[in-house]
Structure 1
């Protein structure tokens, strides 16, 4: 199996309805958009992420979210920023997101499984809304 191409994974984010669903899950339930995009993409490709990978994926995500969250708050709440300042903060946030993606990729292993990745991610976050929100984009 070839490595995950995050440009392909991110194509779902371009769809406004999918992006809105992802951001709602992030804002309301603390779901990592990268993990949700990865789960959605793998379900679309019929790739089952091994159950043993999820704890490592979630731990890695949690570590990076501690770094991303402050930037996200500043970007979203700072009305006083100039457009250039806003773009700089956004660029830093996106650079950290890309670093997170590179940390997630080597943790992936695939297996035969009847359970969807979105369902498994929902179990990890103890939230069935994840699959319900993103299943329409499969």
Structure 2
């Protein structure tokens, strides 16, 4: 099995763990800077695998993911947030479940693109990805745990 195929097995399982550890920070970065949480978790996971991507690779991942999410996920997320006070708990939970399904679709798109990239980066993926938003990794040390 190649290393890239190993992504299929463990990547999103590990990312679920990262999300539970840092949910508040991830959502804050998403809301305040429009950071893609899936890409942020991917950067953390890739750093732990010593699999470095270039800034160009991160820009491609960000651009392609943003195109799909801008058309589908982000409008749905906005609708869900606007509907929160108008729905019963069960109905709102159904909307959250659909959003999670859309997040998984986004993860599939990320994984597909990742398999097309070479890995010749020179610095931390987390630092490179945060740098696209003019953020410094040292301001978020908990993300590296």
1:118 maps to 126
Displacement of 1:97 after TM fit?
A: 0.7
Displacement of 1:112 after TM fit?
A: 4.5
Contact 1:53–1:107 under 8 Å retained in 2: no
Residue 132 to residue 72, structure 1, CA distance change in 2 (3 Å): farther
Contact 1:118–1:134 under 8 Å retained in 2: no
Displacement of 1:74 after TM fit?
A: 2.3
1:101 maps to 107
- CA RMSD, aligned part only? 1.9
1:83 maps to 89
Show structure 2 runs of 5+ residues with no match. none
Residue 35 to residue 118, structure 1, CA distance change in 2 (3 Å): same
CA–CA distance in structure 1, aligned partners of residues 129 and 106 of structure 2 = 17
Q: TM-score, normalised by structure 2?
A: 0.81
Contact 2:55–2:129 under 8 Å retained in 1: no
Count residues with an aligned counterpart.
Answer: 134
Show structure 1 runs of 5+ residues with no match. none
CA–CA distance in structure 2, aligned partners of residues 14 and 40 of structure 1 = 14
2:135 maps to 128
Displacement of 1:27 after TM fit?
A: 0.4
CA–CA distance in structure 2, aligned partners of residues 63 and 44 of structure 1 = 28
Q: TM-score, normalised by structure 1?
A: 0.84
Q: 1:20 aligns with which of 15, 21, 24?
A: 24
- Deviation by residue 1:29-80 (Cα, 9 ceiling, x = unmatched): 1111111111111112222124442232112211222111122122223201
2:49 maps to 45
Residue 133 to residue 32, structure 1, CA distance change in 2 (3 Å): farther
